[in-house]
Amino acid sequence: MLKHIGSLIAFTLLGQAGSGIYLFIMGGAFLFPESFNTSIYFGQGLGLLTGIIALIFSFTHLGYPMHALFALKNLKSSWLSREILFLSLWLFFMALDAVLTHFQIPTGFLWTIRFAAMLCSLLMILSMAKLYMLPTLPGWNKSYTPVSFFLSMLLIGNFSVLLLIISQIIPDPEGILFIFNGLTISILMLIGWLAKTLNPGQRKARTHRLLLIISWGAFLVGWLYMYEESSILKCLSTILIFLSFFIAALSLIIERRRFYASFQKLGV
């Protein structure tokens, strides 16, 4: 397990990042088409790119990568098989979405494909979490595992939308989306900190929580500065929000590394 930590971290976080990016951009396009229609290609492109890279990393921690397809034979009993299935379906539907969007297929059919892709991405993350929740792995067999995996997806997805708004790729003249996204990210960071604090097996892991608090603080200050008229403060605000994203990403990497390093199997 320990020799594959790097590839496991990359696979899970990239898979969750791609899922979050696609989910929030496409969800935004469905709810706020006037603002998000210009960013649909970003959702498709970034989601597909991170998903493919995650798929590549998924092969690096397999003993026999060429045998990966045989895992699909155990769908009834194996969460690993379901993870591979939903990852493959998610990538397929995203690619199909991008192709059909390019050829301007009717909107109703497009949204059927997009909702299928979003559903598969959520089922993929659920399968990731359930894969580790085994009675013989007490350190992983707890509610914190799915909470951590879904929080990573939600946090990265929300941050990605916010950065696109700041970059003006997603137009938001009234600032409503910016405010909504800022509040959502703040709540998610708070939930992440509380989940980590209340997890009895990880109370000594202070680095992750400290980075999360720093990221949260930088984000809140930057979020407030965004409303100032001074161009200097707005520039500082943008820097702080981007910095907050990278610190939060670093925090997630450290948290995921500790998760895999806590591997301890009981029984046979």
Start-to-end Cα distance in the chain: 16
Q: Which two tokens stand for residue 130?
A: 């359930």
- The predicted-structure confidence for 48-82, as pLDDT tens digits, reads as follows 999 999 988 877 755 555 555 555 566 676 888 88
d(CA 7, CA 135): 24
Instruction: List all residues 6 or more positions away from 42 whose beta carbon is below 8 Å from its beta carbon.
Output: 25, 164, 169
- The predicted-structure confidence for 10-28, as pLDDT tens digits, reads as follows 999 999 999 999 999 999 9
| CA 17 from centre of chain | 3
- The predicted-structure confidence for 86-135, as pLDDT tens digits, reads as follows 999 999 999 999 999 988 888 889 999 999 999 999 999 999 999 888 87
User: If you compute the radius of gyration of the chain from its CA atoms, what whole number of angstroms results?
Assistant: 19
For Cα atoms 244, 184, 160, give the angle at the middle one, nearest 5 degrees.
50
d(CA 184, CA 20): 13
SS3 at position 208: helix
Enter the DSSP assignment of 172: -
The alpha-helical segments, DSSP class H, found in 73-175 are 79-102, 107-132, 144-166
Percent of the chain beyond pLDDT 90?
A: 44
- The predicted-structure confidence for 168-214, as pLDDT tens digits, reads as follows 888 888 888 999 999 999 999 988 888 877 776 655 567 777 888 89
